[in-house]
């Protein structure tokens, strides 16, 4: 049965209808991602003959819903969309491992249904660790490293603010840039942090100014080891408010361009506007700049992703179909580690994972036969491999739970 299909389904009469209550209590180390999350969910199970079975079903599916809620919140949307099959299987197969504890706060037997209000503690760390082991986050390798070069100005400031200006100006993160960063990170983009850069090295020979040319932005991007630079300006300016004189109305405008550092080719350009009103002018400016940043981030995320995928499609990809006896996750992790270290493999992802089978897609600087030859000569820890079929762009591999066995029987092209 394909659990990854039914994991989200609540349609059959003997399956629980779970309604998630969006209540999160975080147990965090300041500045870090939450290690554990407390989630409240409501589970409802139809009662047939045995009330105990109905209660157990409500509890089981309620705890699964809690795991799903946390996963949806912490996994980048782009990664989730591209690897839904794999992630769904992981959440279903290891749901008990992710649940650290729970408490039934309230339960009701209506005669036809059994309802539970459950407070569950879910380990976000374990979810992310398990998913990383399968390699689905390496999809993010298809997303470029970004450097944001956005100058920002609100109505109360005499000039633009930007991180590459003189250090003594005391730069603080600006609303538009913060909104763009949040969107990009949620989508799985690696965003370079300016505070982690050597300012003297990065800014050498470049006069600090708000309006950067494409060449200047690319130079900064090269020095910061970025793959795409996003540069431009965001500003807030006052506008008249005819409806309510006590409110201060402002208009936000952001104009950005994205350029590939390596090829120096433009990716996209855009302009977004928004308005906001508040009795406090500074709060109105903060809100409108955050709004235009969010709009720009959403648009840039889609456009850059599409451009990067189009570029990746220009290179030939190989498929490795992996199978084995029982759950192959443990040996698959080891197999992937070897692939990662194999010469000529530039990037790869786990396209699908279901019980005893998986599909890996990778970019390799060579042919499928050359890669197979390398794998046959590579020792694996705790298991062996049997390459039993080989075509132009596809390799079929069987994982064998015996490290003394490494066989290959190649089917001619």
Range name among 107-111, 217-221, 312-316 with the lowest pLDDT average: 312-316
Q: pLDDT tens digits for 289-345?
A: 999 999 999 999 999 988 887 766 655 679 999 998 887 888 888 898 888 778 777
CA distance 348 to 350: 7
**Highest mean pLDDT range out of 63-77, 140-154, 284-298?**
284-298
Same domain, yes or no: 305 and 330: no
User: What's the confidence (pLDDT) of residue 15?
Assistant: 36
Q: What is the residue range of 231's domain?
A: 143-313
Query: Is the pLDDT confidence value at 259 over 80?
Result: yes
In a domain, 413, yes or no: no
Residue whose C-alpha is closest to residue 340's, from 308, 374, 306: 374
Which string of DSSP letters, residue by residue, matches 93-133?
A: HTHHHHEEEEEEEEEEE-SSEEEEEEEEEEEHHHHHHHHHH
User: What's the confidence (pLDDT) of residue 264?
Assistant: 84
- Domain endpoint, select from 272, 294, 313: 313
Region 249-263 average pLDDT: 91
Q: pLDDT tens digits for 66-105?
A: 999 998 888 877 677 777 877 888 888 888 999 999 999 9
Instruction: Name the domain count of the chain.
Output: 3
Region 146-150 average pLDDT: 94
- Which H or E element spans position 269? strand 266-278
Residue whose C-alpha is closest to residue 175's, from 267, 278, 287: 287
In a domain, 83, yes or no: yes
CATH number at residue 62: 3.30.1660.40
> In the chain, what percentage of residues exceed pLDDT 90?
36
Region 128-135 average pLDDT: 76
User: What's the confidence (pLDDT) of residue 314?
Assistant: 57
Q: Label residue 165 exposed, middle or buried (CB < 10 Å: 0-12, 13-18, 19+).
A: middle
User: What's the confidence (pLDDT) of residue 13?
Assistant: 37
Residue whose C-alpha is closest to residue 252's, from 228, 284, 220: 284
Average pLDDT over the chain, rounded to an integer: 81
Higher pLDDT, 303 or 132: 303
398 neighbors 325 (Cβ within 8 angstroms): no
Same domain, yes or no: 227 and 240: yes
Region 240-245 average pLDDT: 70
User: What's the confidence (pLDDT) of residue 297?
Assistant: 94
User: What's the confidence (pLDDT) of residue 413?
Assistant: 42
Same domain, yes or no: 300 and 336: no
Query: Is the pLDDT confidence value at 167 over 70?
Result: no
- Residue 243 DSSP code: S
Same domain, yes or no: 164 and 308: yes
* Token code pair at residue 123: 């380990």
User: What's the confidence (pLDDT) of residue 253?
Assistant: 95
Query: Is the pLDDT confidence value at 138 over 70?
Result: no
Query: Is the pLDDT confidence value at 32 over 50?
Result: no
């Amino acid at each position: 049965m394909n659990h990854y299909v039914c994991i989200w389904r609540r349609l059959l009469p003997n399956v629980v209808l779970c309604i998630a209550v969006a209540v999160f209590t975080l147990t965090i180390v300041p500045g870090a991602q939450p290690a554990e999350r407390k989630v409240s969910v409501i589970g409802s199970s139809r009662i047939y003959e045995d009330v105990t079975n109905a209660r157990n079903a409500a509890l089981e599916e309620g705890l699964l819903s809690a795991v799903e809620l946390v996963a949806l919140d912490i996994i980048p949307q782009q990664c989730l969309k591209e690897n839904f099959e794999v992630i769904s299987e992981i959440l279903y197969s290891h749901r008990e491992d992710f649940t650290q504890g729970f408490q039934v706060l309230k339960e009701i037997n209506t005669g036809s249904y059994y309802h539970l209000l459950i407070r569950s503690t879910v380990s976000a760390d374990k979810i992310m660790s398990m998913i990383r082991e399968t390699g689905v986050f390496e999809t993010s390798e298809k997303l470029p490293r970004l450097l944001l070069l956005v100058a920002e100005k609100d109505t109360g400031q005499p000039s633009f603010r930007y991180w590459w200006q003189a250090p003594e100006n005391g730069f603080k993160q600006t609303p538009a840039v913060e909104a763009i960063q949040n969107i990009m990170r949620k989508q799985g983009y690696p965003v370079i942090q300016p505070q982690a850069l050597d300012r003297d090295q990065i800014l050498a020979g470049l006069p600090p100014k708000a309006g950067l040319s494409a060449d200047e932005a690319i130079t900064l991007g090269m020095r910061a080891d970025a793959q795409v630079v996003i540069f431009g300006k965001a500003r807030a300016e006052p506008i008249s408010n005819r409806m309510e004189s006590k409110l201060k109305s402002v208009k936000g405008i952001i104009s950005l361009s994205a350029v590939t550092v390596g090829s120096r080719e433009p990716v996209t350009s855009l302009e977004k506007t928004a308005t906001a009103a508040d009795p406090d002018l500074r709060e109105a400016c903060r809100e409108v700049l955050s709004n235009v940043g969010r709009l720009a981030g959403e648009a840039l995320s889609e456009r850059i992703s599409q451009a990067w995928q189009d570029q990746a499609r220009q290179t030939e990809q190989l498929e490795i179909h992996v199978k084995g006896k029982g759950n192959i996750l443990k040996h698959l992790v080891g197999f992937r580690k070897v692939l990662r270290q194999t010469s000529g493999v530039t990037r790869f992802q786990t396209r699908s994972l279901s019980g005893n089978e998986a599909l890996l897609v990778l970019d390799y600087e060579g042919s499928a036969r050359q890669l197979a030859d390398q794998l046959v000569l590579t020792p694996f820890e705790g298991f062996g491999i049997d390459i039993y079929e080989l075509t132009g762009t596809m390799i079929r591999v069987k994982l064998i739970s015996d490290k003394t066995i490494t066989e290959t029987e190649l089917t001619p092209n």
